[in-house]
Each structure stands twice: as C-alpha cells, then as structure tokens.
C-alpha cells in the first residue's frame, strides 16, 4: 500500500532532499485560480491561503498550539499514568489474585502494555500520518475504554495478557504517538517546552492515579476499580482528542488534493507530474530512515534504556515492602517516581530549547544510571527511598519524551509519527525483554529477596544507553558544549 508523502523538513538530510512535484502542481493550480480544501486534521483556512503547497512556516507559533499542548497533556496523563501505575495492580496480583504464579509471569502483564503500545508504532505512526492525528487518537481512546471493561471481567492471568496488556497497548499506541508528536507541528523555537509540558502529563497522571487506584482497590474492590478507570478514560479522552488539530495535511487529505489538482492541470504539467510520481510516493511502512547512522544511534540508545526503564516502576513496591514499608506507602513511592517524571520532562524539555535536545537526552540517560548505582542500591530507609524515587523519575522520565524532539531535529516533522513509531518499536522490544529479565535475576540470583542482581542489571544497561547517546552527540558535533 502506498500513500502520498507529506514530509516537511526543517533540516533535510541527503535522503530527504529530493524535489517535490507538489510545488509544480500547486503553482499550476494557483495560476488557474484553484483552491485547496480544508478537512479535519489539516491546515486552518488562513494557513491554507498562506501555504498552498502544504509547507508550514515553523517560525510562526500560533496561540492555538497551546490548546493542543493542553489536550495532549491530559491524554498523556491518562495513558502513561495508567501504565506506570501497574505496580498497584501487580501488588494485588502477587499477594492475592495469583499467589501461585511467579513474579516474572505477572510482571509480563505490565510490560506487555508499553511493549505492544510502542511496538504497534510501526503501524499506528503511519496510520496517524495518513488518516490524521485526531482520527487516530479517537480510535485509540475507544479501544482503551473497551480494553479496561474487558479487564474488569477477566478471571485468569492469560485474560490479562490479552486485555490489560495487548488490547490496551494497541489503543494506547494510537493515542500516545499522536499526543507526544503533535506539539512539534505547532512549535519550533519552543518545541522542547511544548513537548515537555505535554509529556509531563504522564508523570502527573501517575502521581495522581497510583494512590487513587490503591484507594479504590481497598474500598470498592478490583472489578469496580477497573470499571471506574474505564469510565474515566471515556470522559477525559474524548473531549481532549477533539481539540487535536494538525498544521500539516494528513496523507489521505493530500492524496485527494493532488488527485483533484492533477485533473485540472495542463497536459505539460500532468506529464511532469507523472514523470516524478515515484518521488512523491512512499510505502505505508517506510524504513528509509534506518540508513542514517544518526537515526540508528538514537534507535539503539532508546532500545538500551528500555531494558531497564520500567524496572523501578514495577519492582519498587515489592522492594519497599521487603525493607519494612507498608503497602500503601509502597504504592505511593511509585507515585513519587511519576511525579519526578512530570517535573523532569518539563525541565529537561525546556533545557533542550537552550542546550539542545540531544544534550538533554544524554544528561537524562547518564544521571538515570547514576541514580541506580548510587541511590537505589543504598536506599534502605524510607527517606532514602523517597529521594531515589523522585530523582530517578526526574532524569529517567525524559529519556523517552525527548525522542520526538530529537527525531524532528534529525528527520523533520513531515513523517514524525512514523519515524517515532520505529524508535518506539525498539523501545517496546527492550521493555518486553528487560522487565522479565529483571524478574529472572530477582527470582534466581536474588532468591526473591535480594534485589542487588536486579539493581546491577538495571544500572548496567542504563550505562550502555548513555554511551550510545554520547556517540550520537559526538557524531552530530564533536564540540563539548555545542548545542545539538
């Protein structure tokens, strides 16, 4: 299946410098007094008149962009907050519902959700670029709502694999990719701040949802808790995604426009269009970006961080209880990690506007590794646990949310959802491997009580991700303090 490319590049690379015949088409139509229509998910009427070729002036940052950022904040809050609060459910699964099942098997439910959410990005990114961000996010919202309703009636662990894990992950992918990448269409100079605000919703959502879920589980029970969460998804997500609006055309809208314009062209212009046709089309799954060494370094740095990213989120409640912390406070510590993530995403996103997004990514990965080796291993008291949870969340939370900014820097914004989908697919594989591997180290080497093997695994793979991120920075600019 092929679609018309809608790439808009701020920093073209050799693979993206080919001439776009749409300029010739629009010139021809303009001379004949043609006009282009505006549909959901494309330009506003005023933007259309100023940009007949579909090219957005990124130096202009319209005020409506902040409405989009606010809507993306709430989408991120619910999706990421729900996923990062899985520790509250896992605690119940381990202690009550599935006592005879190993920790690694139960943790697979929690890691399936972000794994499938990100792995689905290979397809949902292209879906969003072609059908429009609002359509993609709306479909995802409905799927997540249904997934939670089905989770509430699940009675076996494999049911949770399919509902809370796989189905919620697919719906989350459709809405997550759009909400994390759409701010980049509205901002360039303040892209880091805008994306940071949107992404900080994930931390804020986790900070709020984790204790709420624990309280609901205690008061109304498991099934009613999940049903209430399903209703919250419906009530919050539908109004939020209704506010999504893109500044560039979806692939479907552009394809229709080009077909109309081709029909109204002179024979000479039509011949030129047909001669250039292969240059205007890309496959629905376009992997040409993987030929770029800079993209590959970004991809593998994110893959490496994924091997350890969710380990503290999933295992810290168990670690805290083994060190004398009660169940409610253990779950609250996960909320503190999420709160730190919210603050860190905002601060490092803003920092990226000043020191460069790649530099911010390097800092987040390096200090995440430092937190594991020098804080978690020595966190035996409640006070030290609180310090670790917030600082780790502050640095680790930005490792993923800086990806759209770095990807836009490397590849442009025209296919941003598709490009990020490839990166997040690598993140998914890392999660799928990393969390069960950590559970294996805990169960076998640590005999379910000694967390040191798990902690060493987590810190080492984070150190590897830091080295790869540093290689990306050096590849882009060898100067130590260069803004990249």
State the pLDDT confidence band at 284, using cuts at 50, 70 and 90.
Answer: low
What value does the mean pLDDT take over residues 380-395?
Answer: 94
What is the 3 state secondary structure string of the chain? CEEECCCCCCCCCHHHCCCCCHHHHHHHHHHCCCCCCCCCCCCCHHHHHHCCCCCCCCCCCCCHHHHHHHHHHHHHHHHHHHHHCHHHHHHHHHHHHCCCCCHHHHHHHHHHHHHHHHHCHHHHHHHHHHHCHHHHHHHHHHHHHHHHHHHHCCCCHHHHHHHHHHHHHHHHHHHHHHHHHCHHHHCCCCHHHHHHHHHHHHHHHHHHHHHHHHHHHHHCCHHHHHHHHHHHHHHHHHHHHHCCCCCCCCHHHHHHHHHHHHHCCCHHHHHHHHHHHHHHEEECCCCHHHHCHHHHHHHHHHHHHHHHHCHHHHHHHHHHHHCCCCHHHHHHHHHHHHHHHHHHHHHHHHHHHHHCHHHHHHHHHHHHHHHHHHHHCCCCCHHHHHHHHHHHHHHHCHHHHCHHHHHHHHHCCCCHHHHHHHHHHHHHHHHHHHHHHHHHHHHHHCCCCCCHHHHHHHHHHHHHHHHHHHHHHHHHCCCCCCCC
Tens digits of per-residue pLDDT, 106-122? Answer: 888 887 888 888 888 88
pLDDT at residue 276, as a whole number? 58
Average pLDDT taken over every residue of the chain: 80
Q: Domains in the chain and their CATH numbers? A: 64-246+289-476 (1.20.1250.20)
pLDDT at position 47 = 41
Per-residue pLDDT at 388 exceeds 80: yes
pLDDT given for residue 35 in this prediction: 37
pLDDT of residue 175: 93
Predicted confidence at residue 246, as pLDDT, reads: 80
Query: What pLDDT, on the 0 to 100 scale, is given for residue 300?
Result: 95
- Which of 219-223, 287-291, 363-367, 415-419: highest mean pLDDT? 363-367
Share of the chain above pLDDT 90, in %: 30
pLDDT given for residue 250 in this prediction: 67
131 vs 224 pLDDT, higher one? 224
Give the range with max mean pLDDT: 7-11, 64-68, 371-375.
371-375
pLDDT tens digit string along 4-26? 333 334 444 444 444 443 333 34
Lowest mean pLDDT among 42-46, 94-98, 137-141, 395-399: 42-46
418-435 mean pLDDT = 85
Q: pTM of whole model > 0.75?
A: no
């Amino acid at each position: 299946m092929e679609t018309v490319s809608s790439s808009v590049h701020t920093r073209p690379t050799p693979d993206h410098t080919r001439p776009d015949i749409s300029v010739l088409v629009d010139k021809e139509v303009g001379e004949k007094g043609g006009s282009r229509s505006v549909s959901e998910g494309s330009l506003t009427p005023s933007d259309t008149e100023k940009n007949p070729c579909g090219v957005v002036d990124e130096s202009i940052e319209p005020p409506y962009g902040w409405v989009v950022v606010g809507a993306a904040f709430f989408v991120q809050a619910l999706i990421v907050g729900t996923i990062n609060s899985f520790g509250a459910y896992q605690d119940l699964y381990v202690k009550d519902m599935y006592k005879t099942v190993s920790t690694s098997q139960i943790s697979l439910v929690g890691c399936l959700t972000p794994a499938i959410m990100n792995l689905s990005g290979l397809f949902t990114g292209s879906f969003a670029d072609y059908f429009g961000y609002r359509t993609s996010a709306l479909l995802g919202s409905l799927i997540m709502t249904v997934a939670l309703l089905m989770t509430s009636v699940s009675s076996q662990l494999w049911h949770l694999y399919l509902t809370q894990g796989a189905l919620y992950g697919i719906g989350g992918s459709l809405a997550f990719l759009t909400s994390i990448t759409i701010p980049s269409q509205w901002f360039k100079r303040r892209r880091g701040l805008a994306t940071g605000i949107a992404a900080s919703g994930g931390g804020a959502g986790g900070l709020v949802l984790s204790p709420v879920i624990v309280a609901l589980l205690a008061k109304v029970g498991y099934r009613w808790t999940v049903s209430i969460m399903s209703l919250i998804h419906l009530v919050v997500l539908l109004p939020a995604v209704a506010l999504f609006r893109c500044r560039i055309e979806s692939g479907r809208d552009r394809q229709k426009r080009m077909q109309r314009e081709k029909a109204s062209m002179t024979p000479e212009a039509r011949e030129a269009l047909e001669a250039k046709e292969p240059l205007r089309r890309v496959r629905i799954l376009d992997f040409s970006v993987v030929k770029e060494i800079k993209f590959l370094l970004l991809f593998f740095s994110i893959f490496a961080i994924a091997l350890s990213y969710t380990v503290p989120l999933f295992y810290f409640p168990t670690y805290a209880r083994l060190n004398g912390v009660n169940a409610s406070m253990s779950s609250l510590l996960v909320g503190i990690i999420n709160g730190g993530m919210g603050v860190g995403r905002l601060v490092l996103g803003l920092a990226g506007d000043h020191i460069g997004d790649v530099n911010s990514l390097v800092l987040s990965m390096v200090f995440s590794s430092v937190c594991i080796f020098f804080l978690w291993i020595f966190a035996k008291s409640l006070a030290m646990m609180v310090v670790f949870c917030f600082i780790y969340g502050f640095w680790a939370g930005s490792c993923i949310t800086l990806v759209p900014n770095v990807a836009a820097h490397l590849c442009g914004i025209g296919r941003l959802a598709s490009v990020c989908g490839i990166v997040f697919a690598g993140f998914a594989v890392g999660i799928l491997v990393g969390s069960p591997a950590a559970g294996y180290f805990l169960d076998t080497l640590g005999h379910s009580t000694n967390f040191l093997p798990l902690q060493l695994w987590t810190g080492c793979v984070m150190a590897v991700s830091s080295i790869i991120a540093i290689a990306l920075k050096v590849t882009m600019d060898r100067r130590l303090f260069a803004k990249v």
